[in-house]
Structure 1
Amino acid sequence: MAVRAVRGATQLETDTREHMLERVAELVSDVMEANGLVVDDFISIMFTATSDLHSEFPAYAARQLGFSDVPLMCARELEIEGSMPRVVRLMAHVETDLPRAEITHAYLHGAAHLRRDLTRTTSHD
């Protein structure tokens, strides 16, 4: 079994706690479904959020999905002029038999524009 990194991002329409929890849960679930993963496959997840998001920790959404014993961390995204607002990103390290080339990264909603080269994109709009 190999260790692989899976990336993803989602953009929120507004900075509310309920919306944050909904969008991050959708992102984590999409990563899991697209790669055939279950919670026990995850080694850790690092979340970042842009500085305009402060209503809730993104990791809390993963905790609500059953990630109770998976190390999770939240950090602030770099503030680069002109960067996309209201974005939560994740990088998860997982154990999987999938070759690196078959890992599916998930970029949802407005964040689908961030890495069209890396992922199948899903708008979910």
Structure 2
Amino acid sequence: MIRGIRGATTINSNTENEIVEKTLQLVEKMIQQNEIKSEHVAQVIISVTDEITAAFPAKALRLLNGWEYVPVMCTREVPVPGSLPFCIRVMMTVNTKTAQKEINHIYLYEAKKLRPDLVKEN
């Protein structure tokens, strides 16, 4: 079965280091909480809000062992007035036997406001 696994985080400053660091932290938690193996990932789409311009968050995935062949694409979020700024969102498409309601979607920092119904404190 193919499932989408969502994740989001926020950064405090538009720097390459923070963009890559916070994206890596988010993706590593998504991998751990959902027991994801890179060979089961069909694609990863990462979106950013307009304030994020210092680096491609996809760079973080290239730091992960075994993820060099996973297709990753970055895009821009729709700039809706009042939306959460400095936000990085990840949609990972994965082959898994896990039921939809058992997927662990990960929201960190200010991004917890996006889906408080899905936030699980660990």
TM-score category (smaller protein): over 0.9
Aligned in 2, Cα 1:91/1:83: closer, same or farther, shift over 3 Å?
same
Letter of the structure 2 residue corresponding to residue 42 of structure 1: V
Q: Which runs of 4+ in 1 moved over 6 A?
A: none
Q: Give the Å deviation of 1:37.
A: 1.1
Alignment of 1:50 onto 2:55: no
Q: TM-score, normalised by structure 2?
A: 0.94
Aligned CA RMSD, in angstroms, stands at 1.2
Return the alpha-carbon distance in structure 2 between the equivalents of residues 113 and 36 of structure 1.
25
Q: TM-score, normalised by structure 1?
A: 0.92
Return the alpha-carbon distance in structure 1 between the equivalents of residues 79 and 12 of structure 2.
19
1:108/1:121 contact within 8 Å kept:
no
Q: Give the Å deviation of 1:119.
A: 3.5
Q: 1:117 maps to what in 2?
A: 117
Q: 1:30 maps to what in 2?
A: 29
Aligned in 2, Cα 1:121/1:11: closer, same or farther, shift over 3 Å?
farther
1:59/1:73 contact within 8 Å kept:
yes
Alignment of 1:97 onto 2:73: no
Q: 1:60 maps to what in 2?
A: 59
Return the alpha-carbon distance in structure 1 between the equivalents of residues 31 and 75 of structure 2.
22
- Identical-pair percentage: 33
Q: CA offsets, 1:15-59, max 9 Å, x none?
A: 110111100000100100111112222110000000000111011
Letter of the structure 2 residue corresponding to residue 86 of structure 1: F
Moved more, 37-46 or 68-77: 37-46
Q: 2:18 maps to what in 1?
A: 19
Return the alpha-carbon distance in structure 2 between the equivalents of residues 103 and 80 of structure 1.
27
Partner of 1:120: helix, strand, or coil? coil
Return the alpha-carbon distance in structure 2 between the equivalents of residues 109 and 121 of structure 1.
12
Return the alpha-carbon distance in structure 1 between the equivalents of residues 119 and 99 of structure 2.
15
Return the alpha-carbon distance in structure 2 between the equivalents of residues 121 and 9 of structure 1.
15
Letter of the structure 2 residue corresponding to residue 59 of structure 1: A
Letter of the structure 2 residue corresponding to residue 82 of structure 1: G
Q: Tell me which protein shows more strand as a share of its residues.
A: 1
